[in-house]
Amino acid sequence: MFDSLLIPNRGEIAVRLVRACRDLGVRSIVGCSEADRDGMAARLADDTFCLGPAAPHLSYTCVPAILYACAKTGAQAVHPGYGFLAEDPAFARAVSEAGVTFVGPDPAHLELFNDKTAAREALAEAGVPILPGSPATALQPREAHRLADALGYPVAVKATIGGGGRGVTCVDTPDRLVEALDSARSTAGRLFNDHRVYLEKYLPGARHIEVQIVADVHGHVYCLAERDCTVQRRHQKIIEESPAAWLTEAERSRLCDDTSRAARRVGLRSATTFEFLVDAARRWYFIEANPRLQVEHTVTEEVCGLDLVTTMIQEADGSCVAPLLAGRRTRGHAIQVRILAEDPHQGWRPSAGLVTHWHVPAGPGIRVDTHVTAGVRVSPRYDSLLAKVIVWGSDRETARRRLSRALGEFTCSGLPTNIEVLRAVVDGAPFREDRHNLDTALPSIPPTR
């Protein structure tokens, strides 16, 4: 096992990685910006290295700064967490060329799955159903109209590069298509420095499901419990659960077979999540893959009784994952909600400011992953995630009730959050009865007068 690992990240995921290192006896080094020098991750780590100023392009996404940090601290490995450079093949390649172990999939797989149209082609070749869509990426209005007519409205315009639900625009009628193309291109160029977009059939009333794969260099591929991520806001997940209680065992087995076949076909290693949409007829279609640790990895950990982060680190060091994962069974049900610094009554606008009071829930079956304490100032420069509340129960309803209690105990004062909306969803009939979908998951939120 390598003896030191650099974490060029912040927030709750940096804390999570520091704790995994401590469990493994690996020296943790948090690479942080000037704004995060006093953050929880930096305080808990064995060592810290300031990557640069608060702006992400001068710190967390500055590859030369991160490589310099490896050289100066003697870090033998890098775990990028999620966000920032986690899915950047050039970064993974640069780390490896510097003689440092990159904890995550190979650069070739990051490159493949970073391009959604290339990923769709690869999965189709593996015999996995893909959502009908367009192979073209430099779409002109006339061609886009022809393709959209062939697919049938509604359609989704998607950025070819990127993730997290960003760069996605849904279109119900032809008269909105050109505007949606311009919007998606603009977002893709601004966020991902790539203006290419493509069309995909939009499935009204669909459910969003994903499958966690862990594989190693020895050829072992394990399909862990699936996750239902249907509760979303603007194509971004806010509630995730495992397993998907509405799937039959036969459906679950076929979905796992599809995913495992694709992973073997491309020769995956480390952790990757394959994402699908499921229509009203219970047919699933691949939409994208995320070759990294997911924000919602926690629910898989809870139902499988494992630590995905330490598994990734051990696999990167050359360990075989078979002893860690073979024969593992799921138990019970887990649900995660994301506590976000944003104002639902102001169009979900991100909020920033001083956290004046902070109280997290506790009790049996409740886990809170966070980097926040009272007195922390939330910056507008970074992601709005404040905490993740993860609950486990012997069945879905037990977990749901436990989550409702946990949200009722959670207090964050000083800035707006989405806690009240999360509790409304969790207590609402659609979620309680497990009959929600992507179009009905969130209640309507009145604006503040």
pLDDT at 444 over 80: no
Would you place residue 443 in the very low, low, confident or very high pLDDT band (cuts 50, 70, 90)?
confident
Taking only the tens place, the pLDDT of each residue in 127-177 is 999 999 987 676 788 889 999 999 999 999 998 887 666 768 889 999 999
Strand 207-215, strand 270-278: pairing: antiparallel
Q: What is the pLDDT of residue 162?
A: 73
Whether the CB-CB separation of 9 and 60 falls below 8 Å is answered with yes
- Contacts of 84 by beta carbon, 8 Å cutoff, 6+ apart: 8, 9, 56, 60, 61
Please state the rounded mean pLDDT for residues 330-358. 96
Please state the rounded mean pLDDT for residues 353-363. 97
pLDDT at 195 over 50: yes
Domains, in order of start, for the chain = 4-103 (3.40.50.20), 132-201 (3.30.1490.20), 207-432 (3.30.470.20)
Q: What is the pLDDT of residue 350?
A: 94
Please state the rounded mean pLDDT for residues 401-408. 98
Q: Return mean pLDDT, the chain.
A: 94
In terms of C-beta density within 10 A (0-12 exposed, 13-18 middle, 19 or more buried), how is residue 357 classed?
A: exposed
DSSP character string of 157-209: EEESB--TTTTEEEESSGGGHHHHHHHHHHHHHHHHS---EEEEE--TT-EEE
Q: What is the pLDDT of residue 247?
A: 96
Q: What is the pLDDT of residue 447?
A: 67
pLDDT at 44 over 80: yes
The percentage of residues in the chain with a pLDDT greater than 70, rounded to a whole number, is: 98
Catalytic residue among 185, 227, 269, 292: 292
What are the structure tokens assigned to 107, written together? Answer: 């650069």
Catalytic (active site) residue 292: yes
What span, in angstroms and rounded, lies between the C-alpha atoms of 43 and 38?
7
Whether the CB-CB separation of 174 and 232 falls below 8 Å is answered with no
In terms of C-beta density within 10 A (0-12 exposed, 13-18 middle, 19 or more buried), how is residue 323 classed?
A: exposed
- Secondary element (H or E) of residue 343: strand 342-343
Whether the CB-CB separation of 87 and 44 falls below 8 Å is answered with no
The vertex-221 CA angle with 218 and 226, nearest 5°, equals: 155
pLDDT at 442 over 90: no
Please give the model's pTM, rounded to 2 decimal places: 0.95
Q: What is the pLDDT of residue 446?
A: 64
Q: What is the pLDDT of residue 92?
A: 98
